[in-house]
Amino acid sequence: MLTPERLFRFLIELVFVLLGSLVIWLGLARRIYVDRHSAAWLILSVTLILWGLRALYKPGQWWARWQNWTRGLSLSLLGVLMLVISRVPFLWVGPMLAAGGGLLVLRGLIAAFLILRPR
């Protein structure tokens, strides 16, 4: 049976799966128009990279090691992908946003599996 903490973590990962699915759909339909050359985009991507690296090196419980690695690696990769998006031709932005959404879906699925497995 799931404890309230594990259920809450599972619901958070479900939100990541849904968010990633939405970003995939919007990226492939080319319905997201962002100013990828703005300072806010750069600040967000650097913040995601630093947040991910912090999650990788933050000491935590030994049983949550794989969950921390999943979170940290996915946030860092998403930040790097956002930095790359700011420098690619406009035609590549939609597919690259879809790839970022796929990264969020993958993170949510892997983390949900890690949360639901018996300890």
Model confidence, pTM: 0.86
CB contact set of 93 (below 8 Å; sequence gap of 6+): 27, 32, 36, 85
pLDDT beneath 70, residues of the chain = 59-63
> By the 8 A CB rule, do 91 and 68 touch?
no
Q: Tens digit of pLDDT for each residue in 74-92?
A: 999 999 999 999 999 988 9
